[in-house]
Structure 1
Amino acid sequence: MRVALFITCFNDSLFPEVGKATVTVLERVGVTVEFPAGQTCCGQMHFNSGYRAECVPLVANFASVFAGYDAVVTPSASCASMIRHYHPVIAPDRTPPPVYELCEFLTDVLKVEDVGGYFPHRVAFHRTCHSQRVLRIGDRPQRLLSHVAGLELVELGHPEACCGFGGTFSVKNPDTSAAMGNDKTADVHATGATYLTAADTSCLMHIGGLLSRQQPPVRTVHLAEILAGTA
């Protein structure tokens, strides 16, 4: 199977260690990963902001860069949902290869749940909106986390609640966004967790920014970093 990593522009610019952790996990379970250097943004930010025409070149580039791969794996549920559900709408003549969020690829394609991770901490898991409402990845992340040695997984009191980031929503509606984020951080603190994880660094950045100003300290870490043992 020929597999490519789509790191996403958000991770590439701000959280490159998440892409490295994704490769570490995949290589550990026997997958050889390629990284096409021509990859760019998936166009989600443009599409969500109403700039549909500006999406077309990005969608076309994605289909071209990743042509020929059997699977594209990304550590971002939001970008995976954008590609899978909206690229065919934006440019129906450009068909992308199968794109999987990391948890989906491990559990559904490779049939693997134990990737040999070790993380001896109490961890809360945030179900991001795109992962639950668009991709519908269900309990795949929790199943993977349950096999990480030393990890104590705790449930948030309101797991269905949005963190308030929403990409440009947080820019256009900062007060509402911050209020939603503070509700989420209160939920996190109530669990007694020392770490918060999720399948999207965008949500973790938003929640983490608020947590960094609060006590007791709670760190945010992407799920791939926990599975890889690089956090």
Structure 2
Amino acid sequence: MRVALFATCLADAMFPHAARATVTLLERLGHDVAFPAAQTCCGQMHINTGYRRQARNLVRHHTDVFEAYDAIVAPSGSCVGSVRHQHTAIARDAGDQRLAARAAQLATRTWELSEFLIDVLGVEDVGAHFPHRVTYHPTCHSLRMLRVGDKPLRLLRAVRGIDLVELPAAEQCCGFGGTFALKNADTSAAMLADKTGHILATGAAVVTAGDASCLMHIGGGLSRLESGVRPLHLAEILAATDRSRP
């Protein structure tokens, strides 16, 4: 299987450890992973803020870059959600039916990490070791758009040494929502306060999720509280072994 890493622009610019951990994990499971160097933004933020014409060019570029691969894996439910649920519509609305068909086909081969591990590879125990108390935040796009369900939790439960504790009101949004946090700052801050309060109530040393964007938001709130709780991407926990220090 020809697997490509769709790193996402946020991971590339700010959270490269999540992208590297995804490659480490997949290679440990026996897969060769390519990193197409020409990849750029998938266009989600353009689409969500009304720049649909500019997004169409990004959809075409994304399709050109990844079309040759059997599977495209990303450490981001948000960006995979855009590829699956927005790309085809953007091309179709522009009257480009050929691009729409190509984007629709690519969408069927694009996977969020936990989906790929469980639904495609049929793996739950990835050989990870992470002896820390951890709580899991299910991000909105992974939960509501991709419907990954309990797949991340099934992977975490199989990690050796982990003390996995349930997050109260886990399905509540953290308040980030991309540009929502900018356009509705007060509401976003209130939602973040609720989320960080629930995280602190667990006594966890680490909060994990499948989207670096949400972890950035949550991590900022926890840092300002000087809580000592560390945000860590799901891929980094799954890539950890008793010989690694994630």
Judge same fold: TM > 0.5, yes or no: yes
The 10-residue stretch of structure 1 (31-40 or 94-103) with the greater mean CA deviation from structure 2: 94-103
Where in structure 2 are the equivalents of 1:29-44 lying within 5 Å? 29-44=29-44
1:25 aligns with 2:25: yes
- Structure 1 residue identity aligned to 2:153: Q
How far is the alpha carbon of 1:28 from its aligned partner?
Answer: 0.5
**1:222 corresponds to:** 233
For residues 101-132 of structure 1, the C-alpha deviation after alignment (integer angstroms, 9 at most, x for no partner) is 00000001000111111110110100100000
**2:133 corresponds to:** 122
The secondary structure found in structure 2 opposite 1:91 is helix
The secondary structure found in structure 2 opposite 1:100 is strand
Find the aligned partners of 1:17 and 1:122 in 2 and give their Cα distance.
20
How far is the alpha carbon of 1:53 from its aligned partner?
Answer: 1.1
How far is the alpha carbon of 1:216 from its aligned partner?
Answer: 3.6
Find the aligned partners of 2:67 and 2:194 in 1 and give their Cα distance.
42
The one of 191, 198, 208 equivalent to 1:197 is 208
The secondary structure found in structure 1 opposite 2:237 is helix
How far is the alpha carbon of 1:54 from its aligned partner?
Answer: 1.1
**1:134 corresponds to:** 145
Find the aligned partners of 1:38 and 1:147 in 2 and give their Cα distance.
35
Shift >4 Å, 4+ stretches:
none
1:100 aligns with 2:111: yes
How far is the alpha carbon of 1:223 from its aligned partner?
Answer: 0.3
Find the aligned partners of 1:203 and 1:56 in 2 and give their Cα distance.
26
The secondary structure found in structure 2 opposite 1:185 is helix
How far is the alpha carbon of 1:152 from its aligned partner?
Answer: 1.1
The secondary structure found in structure 2 opposite 1:4 is strand
How far is the alpha carbon of 1:137 from its aligned partner?
Answer: 0.1
Q: Normalized against structure 2, the TM-score is what? A: 0.92
- Structure 2 residue identity aligned to 1:18: A
Q: Equivalent pairs: percent with the same residue?
A: 59
Give 5+ residue unaligned stretches, structure 1. Answer: none
Find the aligned partners of 1:44 and 1:228 in 2 and give their Cα distance.
27
The secondary structure found in structure 2 opposite 1:120 is coil
Find the aligned partners of 1:120 and 1:228 in 2 and give their Cα distance.
13
**1:86 corresponds to:** 86
Find the aligned partners of 2:50 and 2:172 in 1 and give their Cα distance.
25
**1:51 corresponds to:** 51
For residues 33-92 of structure 1, the C-alpha deviation after alignment (integer angstroms, 9 at most, x for no partner) is 001111000000011111111100000001000111111000000000000111110114
CA-based RMSD: 0.9
Q: Normalized against structure 1, the TM-score is what? A: 0.98
Find the aligned partners of 2:165 and 2:43 in 1 and give their Cα distance.
34
1:146 aligns with 2:120: no
1:70 aligns with 2:58: no
How far is the alpha carbon of 1:157 from its aligned partner?
Answer: 1.0
**1:176 corresponds to:** 187
Find the aligned partners of 1:17 and 1:189 in 2 and give their Cα distance.
24
**What is the total number of aligned residue pairs between the two structures?**
231
How far is the alpha carbon of 1:214 from its aligned partner?
Answer: 1.5
How far is the alpha carbon of 1:215 from its aligned partner?
Answer: 4.6
- Structure 2 residue identity aligned to 1:34: A
Find the aligned partners of 2:227 and 2:70 in 1 and give their Cα distance.
45
**2:95 corresponds to:** none
